[in-house]
Amino acid sequence: MIDINKSTQQILIRSLLISVVLVWSGSLLAETLQKSGDVEAGPIWNNSDAQQKCPKVCSNVGATWNGNWTTTVWGSMSVCGCTVSACASTEICKSFEVAKEYTDTGTKENGDCESWLHVDKCAKGIPNNALQNYEIEIKGGKIYNKFDGKPFTSWAGGSKETLYVIDATNDKIYFINVEGRYIEARGTANCIDRTIQNGQSTSQCTIPRLTTHAGILMGYVAGLPGATSTPKEMTIKVKGAGTVKVSNGVINEITNDSGHFQPTIDNLKATMNILTQKGFVSFPTRSDCPYDFTPVPGKSGVYSHPSTPLHCEL
């Protein structure tokens, strides 16, 4: 005779164990996806479609597809699970929570807008579709804005400076004039409430756009031209970051001053080498260097042109 109570208990125990395993597996998968990073890919209809789209989507942000994908909005949006490759010795890799570093719906109340701002609402980061407007190119030994072909010139005075980052995934270099956290408006990197002319500071905006070194590439890496409400940890990889002073296409000073990436002197030297390789002739090779990397108050590893026409060998 079968002991019904004992059989029932065994079934219940087995069901409970299966449930625990499923929950644990689901949690592990969710944790893996979160650590790897989910990148929006538009609609994905099935596994075959994912195999066509996800490798490219992940490659665009310097990562590889880990085989996972999920639909977030049926018929219009899915995400691919992307794994960032190991950081090379010549790179700086930092992870950031996108919702904290990049948002179009920032406020002082939720802590996204800095307390010193004169506004209650703000937007942070360079939108994905505006980043190309800040890319520079080197022609004839000078720095030019790629978007309009004009020689690059830094803003002058007060808290104005030029931030730079070198994207480690494609070696593209971006120069962004800033005033504190306010940025030079270009294209969609503009006011949220209205549009101002290219070249003006977003400090004029009622709802201004701001950025940091991390925010320059955040929109591109996370695939975010708009706001995000879900914290996503994404990794940004750069070869160099800091500040420059540029006059009519000529770099007068370059530093490794970046609180987000904290580059070393070696990263600064690598940055200068990259600029040289791309054609910036103000860093010619010389063996009789009359000066070196000297610190200035508040900054480290500053490289400045001397009063003589001589230049350093790196």
Q: For the chain, list the domains and their CATH numbers.
A: 37-85 (3.30.1490.230), 93-304 (no CATH)
pLDDT (0 to 100) of residue 109: 86
Q: State residue 67 phi and psi, 5-degree precision.
A: 90, -10
Average pLDDT over residues 107-134: 88
Average pLDDT over residues 27-50: 68
- Specify which residues 95 forms β-bridges with: 235
How far apart CA 284 and CA 277 sit, in angstroms, is: 10
Please check whether residue 211 is in contact with residue 178, taking contact to mean a CB–CB distance below 8 angstroms. Answer: yes
Average pLDDT over residues 171-199: 94
pLDDT (0 to 100) of residue 303: 53
- 16, pLDDT greater than 50: no
How far apart CA 272 and CA 312 sit, in angstroms, is: 11
pLDDT (0 to 100) of residue 24: 36
How far apart CA 219 and CA 62 sit, in angstroms, is: 14
3-state secondary structure 138-172: EECCEEEECCCCCECCCCCCCCEEEEEEEECCCCC
DSSP 186: B
Average pLDDT over residues 12-41: 47
Determine the 3-state secondary structure of 48 from DSSP: helix
**pLDDT: which is higher, 179 or 97:** 179
Number of helical H runs and strand E runs in the chain: 5, 16
**Sequence-separated (6 or more) residues with CB below 8 Å from residue 20:** none
Neighbours of 250 (CB within 10 A): 17
- 115, pLDDT greater than 60: yes
pLDDT (0 to 100) of residue 193: 86
Neighbours of 14 (CB within 10 A): 10
pLDDT (0 to 100) of residue 73: 92
Average pLDDT, the chain: 79
- 21, pLDDT greater than 50: no
**Sequence-separated (6 or more) residues with CB below 8 Å from residue 115:** 108
pLDDT (0 to 100) of residue 17: 46
pTM of the model: 0.71
- 46, pLDDT greater than 70: yes
pLDDT (0 to 100) of residue 185: 96
Average pLDDT over residues 179-186: 94
Tokens of 298: 């508040």
- Tokens 């079968």, residue? 2
pLDDT (0 to 100) of residue 299: 56
Instruction: Give one DSSP letter per residue of 191-223, joined into a string.
Output: -SSS---TTSBGGG-SS-EE--HHHHHHHHHHT
Residue range 237-296, pLDDT digits in tens? 999 999 988 999 988 888 888 888 988 878 888 898 899 899 987 654 544 444 455 555
Residue range 288-308, pLDDT digits in tens? 444 455 555 555 555 554 444
Torsion sign across C-alpha atoms 274, 278, 280, 281:
positive
Residues found in the chain:
314
- Specify which residues 184 forms β-bridges with: 201
How far apart CA 40 and CA 79 sit, in angstroms, is: 4
pLDDT (0 to 100) of residue 274: 92
- Binned at pLDDT 50, 70 and 90, residue 309 comes out as very low
